[in-house]
Amino acid sequence: MLDQANFLVPPIYYVALSGILFILGMVGVLLRRNAILIFMSVELMLNSANLAFVAFARSFLDVNGQVFVFFVMTVAAVEVAVGLALIVAIFRTRRSIDIDELHSMEG
Amino acid sequence: MQLPILESINLMAVLPVLIIAGWACVLLVFDLLIPRSRKHWTAWLALVGLLGAAVALFFQIGHFARLGSEAAFDGMVTVDGFSIFLQVVFVLTAIVGVLLALDYLPRHGIERGEYYVLLLFTTIGMMIMSMAADLIVVFVALELLSIPLYILSGFAGMRETSEEAALKYFLLGAFASSFLVYGIALTYGGTGTTRLTGIAQAVTSDALNLPLTTVGMGLLLVGLGFKVAAVPFHMWTPDVYQGAPTPVTAFMSVGAKAGGFAALIRVLVTAFPAIASEWGTLIAVIAGLTMLLGNIVAISQSNIKRMLAYSSIAHAGYILLAVAAAQRSENASFAIGAVVFYLLAYALTNLGAFTVAIAVERDDGTGTEIDDFAGLGKTRPWMALAMALFMLSLTGMPISGGLVGKVFVFQAALQAVPGDPLLLAVVIIGVLTSVVSAFYYLKVIMVMYMREGEGKAVLPLALKTVLAATAFGTLVLGIIPGPVFQMAQRAMLK
Amino acid sequence: MNSLFSLIPLVVFFPLLGMLINIFFGRMLMADENSKAPGVIASLMAGLSFVIAVLMFVALLGEPEGVEVPFMTWFSISAGSRTLSIPWTFKVDTLSSVMMLVVTGVGTLIHIYAIGYMHGDIDEQASKRGLSSDEAFDLKRRRFPRFFAYFNLFLASMLILVTGSNYLVMFVGWELVGLCSYLLIGFWFDDPIVGIYNSMAGRKAFVVNRIGDFGMVMALMLIFWTFGTLQFDDVFARAECMRTASQFECLAVDAAQMVETSPNFSLMFGFGLLQPISFGAITLSFQTVMIAITLLLLLGATGKSAQIPLFVWLPDAMAGPMPVSALIHAATMVTAGIYMITRSNVLYAMAPFSADTVAIIGAATALVAATIAVAQFDIKRVLAYSTISQLGFMIAAVGLGGYVAGIFHLATHAFFKALLFLSAGSVIHGIEHGHHATAHKGHGDHAFDPQDMRNMGGLRKHMPTTIVVYIVGALALAGIPPLAGFWSKDEILLDASKHDPLIYILLTIAAFFTAFYMGRQVWMVFFGQPRTEAAAHAHESPPVMTTPLIILAVLASIGGLMNLPFGRLHFLAEWLRESVAYAHVPAAGEGFSITVAVISTVLALAAIALSYIIYGTKPLQEGQADPLRVAGPLFTFLNRKWYWDEAYEAVFIRPFKCLANWLAFTIDWRFWHDFVHDSVIIQFFDGWAAILSRPVDMGIVDGAVNGIGRLVAGASSRLRRTQTGYVRNYALAVALGVVAIVAYLLIRFFAN
């Protein structure tokens, strides 16, 4: 199924890279305190998925995976719009986007 | 002249979605023309759109009862009894969502036309979730469901809790959906397709890439588990439910959860029957944890919205139990019937309970403590009676839909026990935690009737209507569950 | 299927609608003090229901075999191979149509009558409580619609009972009518003088019926266990199959289906006729099971239809307002037992022992209650015991297999007993008015009992309509030809004379007493001189009350036409043959015996003559003792109704109370609390506490419950601390969940 001859670089390399990027993004979400940086880490995770999609699509010679990437990009753009608006709104009232300061509700 | 392309698109099958989508776009523009002090016009217009969709659904019910299922958009979506049944739930929930906001928004000084438009958009997301036959559609629908909800959670912008809720929900939601996307990517890598039926064929025939597919399925579970608030992906729930404006919470606690379950069932049952014992066990464990945590932590809550949030986590556990029971294919139709019935009963009961919470809440956002319910038994006897009914239904006491739902869920699980003995343990947990849940549900009744208090509540006509309708529905489901359950079972995936 | 049949659900839903209207809008409808709107709506709904019943009758003329009209599935539970599916299906056949016609027809008339009666009754209450006119209006606004809401609910429930197509739906109706009975007996639970007795009477009815219902529930369970279904038609078909097991064809046809629904049937082929039925540890023969089922059903019937041994609630139930006594406790609800046994005739045909028991109980009740009625002074109580006695006639008839006679008597009895109760109501109404007229002149007397026949007398002058209809009813009840009661009672007696001489003799004696006590009542109430001021000032009731009386009187006179025992005039028998498989339908010429008819008529006339000699020739004077007192202790024995209540008190209630007392004080308090708890446990703990130097102040149970409670509460407060409010912790939980899921899946995958 995986046609090695069509690839200069074997697709498994791309998948491994996307996995590494995904985990990097996940760790970023867990460690960062700045809302924007967390958000960028999420974007990294989404894009690692895009990479995996493209790699798989190429190996299957199937266009569906590549189409999916466009959907993911569109959704990511929407999330940026909404997310940045929220972050700006929060910055206006609190003068900070450190998410560790956001814990008025707990328990 | 009929174009072939139109036939494969099959617009009639998704007519209710189209009605709401078109109406939402029109309304978005129209809202600009409505003066600020007249924003309730937008609400009424939104109701008109929803009623239009309800009428379309009504005609589809008969159509699909005869024909079974129909594909649309070249097989990307499947409209069948299951999706029609859930679409009815979604449209009803959205109607309630509008009615609840009608008075709440101006009272709290946050009335804007966007509320109703966003509500319509997220309803579309839910409806598409229930008919998704392709992982791409699952993803897009999930985002269409989620993103308006992020905004709606922060709709009470000047309240810090609302802002905080929105940001928490947004960050965690985006985080969870990135798992979903990666899961889809892995599944695609393992099977070469994103079509659910195609995946089912590939998983059975091709064992080579099975680890990839299995892990992909696991990550899909994460993304959808987040939406339905299953442990350990539940932690956003209490904060968001508490911080969001109460009508949004009511809408979200029912609609978003039902949407998540719709996609969960469709994906698991349609695409992964070959690895059913894997996901069955996982879901059973998650169900047990969810019931335990939701019910136990709810006990020590003093805020009604937070208590209901934990309660909604707990109920997600019961529904997951029935989902786990769907792993046995001969049992699947009963289990899915149980899920759908439970969702309907839960929707009615929970919307009713939140309606009461809205009536008690004061203009400044306080009045959400359980202690604020003191004295309602005297000052608002009918409302207190309805609230008592909702609490009893959530506990699972007789003559309420909640009891019947639980009976069906446990029965479905017990029927699947021969395939997975673990389910027996989870059923026992379920029964025991139902007993535990009586502590905090009955506390509300006790406070209403036995504690002295002002018992202040504002109950305009819209809320009264919702209250009467939900209480009536809860009772009907409890006393004559037969017809609805038959419909729910017939609502099976085709 | 005739499309008229599809209207049948309306027969239940019209009264239900009426109830809802009266519950939610009743107060609004009461525009002023004399508003009759709630009653008119209730009567209208009852009337519409009657129209539907007539339409059903018309439709059945074309298709007498009857139909089942599906309405909805109530619920359906499957466990393994068995399915308990309970549809709410309306069974329209000749039997249920007779019941529907009687219930809705008589029901409508009593609804109309109640409009007038309840206005007066509520006014009476208001004056009893000394309310101001505003307060009185308020009382009326609350109680008038409430009465009609209950009344319509009763009608709907009774119709659910008679139209249900399975035992469970019938049982729902059975319980609902019991509820309505309870609510209406205690309608004046807040009466300042007798309120407590009214509510006690309601409670007694409820509790006694509960004993009967225990039998019903057990019977239902046995039926489901044995036949795997509760649908009437299926139960009877399968019962027939099991009885005549030699008909292998019948079994083979249904075998696959039966094995699936009831595992017992898999055994059937091997054992033939006396096929054993297994109940886990024990196994019984089919015969035994059938006897158990039918006897348990009979227990249910003795409760609802007030038969020995459970009849004691019905006399007390007369505490309810008069229309309630007429509709619920004479004409309809109490006949539910007869209907149920008739419906189950297939089962009784297979258990002759049970059928004989039914007949004996019916005949004994008929006689006992008739003798008690002779010695009562309360006008309603006489009628109550008369009702019990007449129900005994019907039960005896169905026990003998005379289902046609039983149902025939049920219908005619509904006419003349409703007539008697309502006209007695008219009498009481009149006396109460008379009492008011005199009380205002300073003769006020709170102990005055408007129902005591000793306070009446000479009413024929004041109540010209009432006396006529009353005498019609009394003659019908006494069995004087050609009134309705003669024909139906004669049919029962004829059946009895053919099948069981003992029953025939018991019933004939009961019939003699019946004529006697009715004669006594008529002479005491209407003839002679007024014995009180109130009786002297009594007056006739308004037309809204007398019109239904006249209609009922006509029905009581000509009701016999529905089943004259001559050739083709035997309509009811032909009609019921379609739905009652084991109905005796006598061949031409055997439906009437001149001997039986002459004996019963002569006896009835003799009894009336005797009552005339005792009460008619020398009318009772004010303060004079009843002439029957010459019988001394026998009269007291009858007056105290054979000491049944006292016997129950001595045999059941007092021992039960003693046992409860003994358990509470001796066992629970002295033994458990004082000895086990205080001495043994506490000392044991004190000992340990001394050793552990920890104070023990709670018992084991308390400690355990609190311990679990604390455990949960502790877990709760600890777990809630994991909810820190920090987004990163939440994300960490998600990430850990992901790791756990992926790890589990990979381990599971590679472990295979």
d(CA B394, CA B402): 6
Q: Which of B105-109, C247-251, C334-338 has the highest mean pLDDT?
A: C334-338
Q: What is the pLDDT of residue C437?
A: 75
Domain covering A9-97 in this structure, CATH number: 1.10.287.3510
**Chain C positions in Cβ-Cβ contact with residue B233 (cut-off 8 Å):** 733-734, 737
Q: What is the pLDDT of residue C515?
A: 93
Q: What is the pLDDT of residue C705?
A: 65
pLDDT grade for B185, boundaries at 50, 70 and 90: very high
**Spatial CA neighbour of C448 closest among C130, C198, C132, C124:** C124
**Chain C positions in Cβ-Cβ contact with residue B330 (cut-off 8 Å):** none
Q: What is the pLDDT of residue C268?
A: 41
Residues of chain C with pLDDT > 70, as a percent, come to 89
Q: What is the pLDDT of residue B338?
A: 92
**Spatial CA neighbour of C162 closest among C98, C108, C67:** C98
Look at phi and psi of residue B455 and say left if phi exceeds 0, alpha if psi is from -120 to 50, else beta.
left
pLDDT grade for B490, boundaries at 50, 70 and 90: confident
Q: With contact defined as beta carbons under 8 Å apart, do C506 and C368 qualify?
A: no
Residue C254 scores a pLDDT above 60 = no
d(CA B368, CA B250): 14
- When the pLDDT of each residue in chain B is averaged and rounded to a whole number, the result is 91
Read off the tokens for B457. 């509540």
**Chain B positions in Cβ-Cβ contact with residue C734 (cut-off 8 Å):** 172, 175-176, 179, 222, 226, 232-233, 235
d(CA C152, CA C177): 11
Q: What is the pLDDT of residue B3?
A: 60
Q: What is the pLDDT of residues C445-478, one digit of tens each?
A: 556 777 888 888 778 888 888 889 999 999 999 9
User: For residue C440, what are the contacts with CB-CB under 8 A and spacing of at least 6?
Assistant: none
Residue C697 scores a pLDDT above 70 = no
Cβ of B218 within 8 Å of Cβ of C713? The answer is no
Q: In degrees rounded to 5, what are phi and psi of residue B303?
A: -95, 130
Q: What is the pLDDT of residues C361-404, one digit of tens each?
A: 999 999 999 999 988 888 899 999 999 999 999 999 999 988 99
Residue B208 scores a pLDDT above 70 = no
Cβ of A49 within 8 Å of Cβ of B178? The answer is yes
Residues facing C82 on adjacent strands: C79
Burial class from Cβ neighbours inside 10 Å (0-12, 13-18, 19+) for residue C594 reads: exposed
Q: What is the pLDDT of residues C231-242, one digit of tens each?
A: 898 888 888 877
Residue B47 scores a pLDDT above 90 = yes
Residue ranges of domains in chain C: 1-165, 360-634
Q: What is the pLDDT of residues C584-638, one digit of tens each?
A: 776 656 777 888 889 999 999 999 999 888 888 877 777 777 777 777 788 788 8
Look at phi and psi of residue B51 and say left if phi exceeds 0, alpha if psi is from -120 to 50, else beta.
alpha
State the nearest Cα–Cα gap between B157 and chain A, in angstroms. 8
**What does the longest C-alpha to C-alpha distance in chain A come to?**
58
Cβ of C727 within 8 Å of Cβ of A102? The answer is yes
Read off the tokens for A97. 């986007």
Q: What is the pLDDT of residue C350?
A: 87
pLDDT grade for C79, boundaries at 50, 70 and 90: low
* Peptide bond connecting B232 to the previous residue in cis, omega within 30 degrees of 0: yes
Counting DSSP H helices and E strands in chain A, the numbers are: 3, 0
**Chain B positions in Cβ-Cβ contact with residue A39 (cut-off 8 Å):** 171, 174
Residue C267 scores a pLDDT above 80 = no
Q: What is the pLDDT of residue B81?
A: 86
User: For residue B256, what are the contacts with CB-CB under 8 A and spacing of at least 6?
Assistant: B122, B126, B145, B146, B149, B227
Q: Is B70 helix (H, G, I), strand (E, B) or coil?
A: strand
| Ordered DSSP codes for C578-601 | TT-TT---PPTT-S--HHHHHHHH
Q: What is the pLDDT of residue C621?
A: 75
**For C464-522, what is the HEC assignment?**
HHHHHHHHHHHHHHHCCCCCHHHHHHHHHHHHHHHHCHHHHHHHHHHHHHHHHHHHHHH
Q: With contact defined as beta carbons under 8 Å apart, do B313 and B217 qualify?
A: no
pLDDT grade for C244, boundaries at 50, 70 and 90: low
Residue of A103, A104, A105 to mutate when probing chain C, most C C-beta within 10 A: A103
d(CA B87, CA C520): 73
Q: Which of B83-92, C10-19, C266-275 has the lowest mean pLDDT?
A: C266-275
The whole-number average pLDDT for the span C192-219 is 90
Cβ of A107 within 8 Å of Cβ of C731? The answer is no
Q: What is the pLDDT of residues B251-289, one digit of tens each?
A: 999 999 999 999 999 999 999 988 888 899 999 999 999
Q: With contact defined as beta carbons under 8 Å apart, do C522 and C470 qualify?
A: yes
Cβ of C721 within 8 Å of Cβ of A103? The answer is no
Residue C165 scores a pLDDT above 80 = yes
Q: Which residue has the higher pLDDT, C510 or C195?
A: C510
| Ordered DSSP codes for B79-125 | E-HHHHHHHHHHHHHHHHHHHHHHHHHHHTT---THHHHHHHHHHHH
Residue B206 scores a pLDDT above 60 = no
Q: Which residue has the higher pLDDT, B69 or A48?
A: A48
Cβ pairs A/B, distance under 8 A: 121
Q: Which of B376-385, C257-266, C549-558, C711-720 has the lowest mean pLDDT?
A: C257-266
Q: What is the pLDDT of residue B159?
A: 83
Cβ of C731 within 8 Å of Cβ of A29? The answer is yes
Residue ranges of domains in chain A: 9-97
From residue B254, give the alpha-carbon distance in Å to each of B114, B228, B259, C433, C630: 21, 10, 9, 62, 80
**Spatial CA neighbour of C505 closest among C586, C599, C401:** C599
pLDDT grade for C146, boundaries at 50, 70 and 90: very high
